[in-house]
Chains A and B, each alone.
Chain A
Amino acid sequence: MSNPILSTHNLVKAFGALTATDDVSIDLFPGEIHALIGPNGAGKSTLIAQICGGLTPDSGRVVLQGRDVTQDSTAARARAGLGRTFQISALAMEDTVLENALLGALGASHRPWRFWRKALSDKALCERALSALERVGLADDKDRRTSELSHGQRRQLEVAVALTLEPRAFLMPEPMAGLGTGGSQRLIGFLDGLRGEAPILLVEHDMDAVFALADRISVLASGQVIATGTVDEIRRDPAVREAYLGEDA
C-alpha cells in the first residue's frame, strides 16, 4: 500500500471532562474518498479543526505528506497542500466571484506582496482562478457579486476556491449541506472525478452521497473511531448499526 497523503496518529483533544477526540487515527490514501460519518456530537468538527490547524491536539500528530504539521499554523498547512472548504460558506461576500477565486490563486502563488499591479490584470493568477470557476460551472458568473449568488452557487464557489490551491489533499466538511437533490447529484458527480487529482476526506450527513462516493468510511462516535472499512463492511458492522445507523438500518 502506498503512503497516506494525510493521516492523524492517536489524536486526543479534551475540553474539561469531555474527550471530544479520543485516540483518533485515520489515513487518507492517494486516489480515495474517505468519508467520515458519525452522529451529532461525535467529534467530527473538533477532529476537522485539529487537521486544519484551528485547534491544537492535547496529544497525537497530524501528518501531511510525510511531514509532521501538528504545530503548524492553518496558513502553513494550506501552503503544505491542504485544501479545505467550509461547511458555512466563508467567502468575501462584497467581492466578485472571480475575486474570491483569485484569493486561492494568490495564496497558492505565495505572492500577495504586490501593491501596484492590478490583480485582475495578472494573467497567471486569473487563468488559474478562471479554470477553477469553469470546472465548477461558475465561469459565466465570474463578475457577479458573491452576495448575489444562490446557496448552491456559493457551495460551488467554495469548491472552486479550494481547487485554485491545487492541493494535495481535500478536506470537505459537509459540502452538500443545504443543496437540493439536483445540486447534490451534480456535486457528487464532480467530486467523483476529483479523487484522481487529490484524495478527499469527506464529512457528510447525506448518506446517499457517502455511499455513492466513499471508497472507505470511518465512523466516529463519542470521539472514537468505532469502525473503518469499505461501504459494505460498514453497512454490515453491528457496532455501527447500533451507534449510528440505528433506526434507519
Chain B
Amino acid sequence: MIGERSITLVVLGLLLAVVAWALVVDEPFTITLATRAAILALAAVGLNIALGIGGMVSLGHAVFFGLGGYAMGILAYHAQSFSALDLGLVSVAGTKSMPVIWLVALGVSALAALLIGLLSLRTSGVYFIMITLAFGQMFYYFAISWSAYGGEDGLSIYVRNGFPGLNTLVPIQFFGICFALLCAALFLNARLRASPFGLALNAARQVPARIETVGLTPFRLKLVAFVISGAITGLAGALFADLNRFVSPTMFSWQLSGELIVLIVIGGVGRLIGPVIGACLFVALEHWLGGLTEFWHVYLGAILLGIVLFARGGIVGLLTGREGPHV
C-alpha cells in the first residue's frame, strides 16, 4: 500500500498540475476553483487539529471562518470608505494589506476559540457538539442583525486586498498565496502531531484517564489545540472573503461547519492530507455535478455514505490500507 507521505505529495502536486494546466490553456475560472479548494482545505486542516487529533467534534467552526471573513470585510470596508474604525477607546484606520488582515483574523479567531473552548470543553460528546453549534448560531444571528456591516446582505469589497510585491487580482498570484498558506498549515500540522504536545493530545482523545494519571490535564491540552485549530480556520475565512470580495452571515452558518466536517470525513479523519482531498473533491463535485443537476448534494451524500460504510479511514485510509488515523 501507499505511504501517507507520498499521498500528501501527490495530492499537492496534482492540485498544482491542474492549476498549471489551467494557466497554459488560459482557464482562469479553473484557477479560481482551485483557489476555493485550497482555502476550504485550509479551513478543514484547522478543524482537523481539533477533530482528528483531539477528537473534538466541533459543529461551530464556522464561527472562526466567519470571524476571519468579517475581520477582512470590516478592515477593508473602512479602508475603501476612508472611515475610521471605532474600537471604543481608540479608533484605527482600515487596511487593505493582507498580512495585517491575516494577523487580525488569526488573533480574533484565536481569542474567540479560547472563550468558546473554555466553556464548551467542560462538556463532551453530543453536548460539546450542541454547545459549539449554539455558539455558531449566536454569531450567525448577530451578523444578520449587524446593520453597520450590511446585516443580512453582507458586505462587498470592491478591490481585492494587497500583498507586498504581488498583484492579487491575477488569479494565479492569489492562488499562490493561498496554496503557500495551505502548505504552511500542513507543515505546522505535521510537526504538531509528532511533537510532545501532539502525542499527548492524541492520547487525550484515546484514553483521557491515562493522560491524567501521567500528570497532564486533558482539558488544557484540548483547549490549546482548539485555539490553534480555530485560528487556522479563521485565517482561511479571511482568504475566503478575499476570494469572493464579499462577506456575509452565511460564513457563520452551521451548514458551513457541517461541510468542513464532511470534507474531513471524506478525506480521512485525523489524516494530514485528508482535508485537502476532501476539499478538492467537494469543489470538483460542486462544480461539475452542480452544472449538471441542481441536486448534486444527493451524489455528495451518496459518496459520504459509501465512505462511512465501507472506508472508515476516508480516502486516505482506503489508499494506505490502514483504518486508524495515526500516521
Chain A residues with CB under 8 Å of chain B are 52-53, 73-76, 78-79, 83-84, 86, 90-95, 99-100, 102-104, 106-108, 110-120, 122, 125, 145, 161, 164-165
- B196 located at the interface, meaning its Cβ lies under 8 Å from any Cβ of chain A in the complex: yes
- B324 located at the interface, meaning its Cβ lies under 8 Å from any Cβ of chain A in the complex: yes
Are A78 and B212 closer than 8 Å at their CB atoms? yes
B-side interface size class: 20 to 34
Are B195 and A99 closer than 8 Å at their CB atoms? no
Are A103 and B212 closer than 8 Å at their CB atoms? no
At the interface with chain A, which of B29-37, B106-114, B173-181, B198-206? B198-206
Identify 20 residue pairs between A and B in the complex whose beta-carbon atoms are under 8 Å apart, listed by A's number.
A74-B212, A75-B211, A75-B213, A75-B216, A78-B212, A78-B214, A90-B209, A92-B203, A94-B206, A94-B326, A95-B199, A100-B203, A103-B199, A103-B200, A104-B214, A108-B214, A118-B191, A118-B195, A119-B194, A119-B196
Chain B, range 181-195, C-beta contacts under 8 Å to A:
191-192, 194-195
- B23 located at the interface, meaning its Cβ lies under 8 Å from any Cβ of chain A in the complex: no
Nearest CB in chain A: distance from B230 CB, A: 16
Are B197 and A114 closer than 8 Å at their CB atoms? yes
Are B207 and A90 closer than 8 Å at their CB atoms? yes
Chain B residues with CB under 8 Å of chain A are 191-192, 194-200, 202-203, 206-207, 209-217, 221, 224, 324-326
Are B192 and A94 closer than 8 Å at their CB atoms? no
> With A92-B207, A93-B206 as given contacts, are A119 and B212 in contact (CB-CB < 8 Å)?
no
Are A161 and B195 closer than 8 Å at their CB atoms? no
How distant is the Cα of A165 from the Cα of B210 in the complex, in angstroms? 12
Are A116 and B195 closer than 8 Å at their CB atoms? yes
Are B195 and A119 closer than 8 Å at their CB atoms? yes
For A103, what are the chain B residues with a Cβ–Cβ distance below 8 Å?
Answer: 199-200, 203, 210-211, 214
For A79, what are the chain B residues with a Cβ–Cβ distance below 8 Å?
Answer: 215
For A99, what are the chain B residues with a Cβ–Cβ distance below 8 Å?
Answer: 199, 203
For B194, what are the chain A residues with a Cβ–Cβ distance below 8 Å?
Answer: 118-120
> With A92-B207, A93-B206 as given contacts, are A125 and B196 in contact (CB-CB < 8 Å)?
yes
Are B197 and A113 closer than 8 Å at their CB atoms? yes
Are A91 and B207 closer than 8 Å at their CB atoms? yes
Nearest CB in chain A: distance from B50 CB, A: 15
For B217, what are the chain A residues with a Cβ–Cβ distance below 8 Å?
Answer: 73, 75
